[in-house]
Structure 1
Amino acid sequence: MPSPLSPAQISEIVEMALSDHVSFAQISAQHGVTPDEVKVLMRTELKPGSYRAWRKRVRDFGDRRAHYK
Structure 2
Amino acid sequence: MPHTLSPAHKSAIIEMALSDHTPFAVIEAEFGLKESEVKELMRDNLKPGSYRAWRKRVREFSDRREHYK
TM-score w.r.t. length of structure 1:
0.96
Q: Structure 1 residue runs of 4+, over 2 Å off?
A: none
Q: Distance in 2 between matches of 1:5 and 1:67?
A: 27
Q: Please list every run of 5 or more consecutive structure 2 residues that lacks an aligned counterpart in the other structure.
A: none
Count of residue pairs brought into register by the alignment: 69
Instruction: For 1:1-69, list aligned pairs within 5 A.
Output: 1-69=1-69
* % same residue: 68
Q: Please list every run of 5 or more consecutive structure 1 residues that lacks an aligned counterpart in the other structure.
A: none
CA RMSD, Structure 1 to Structure 2 (Å) = 0.9
Q: Distance in 2 between matches of 1:67 and 1:29?
A: 16
> For residues 12-57 of structure 1, what are the alpha-carbon distances to aligned partners after superposition, in whole Å with 9 as ceiling and x for unaligned?
0000000000000000000000000000000000000000000000
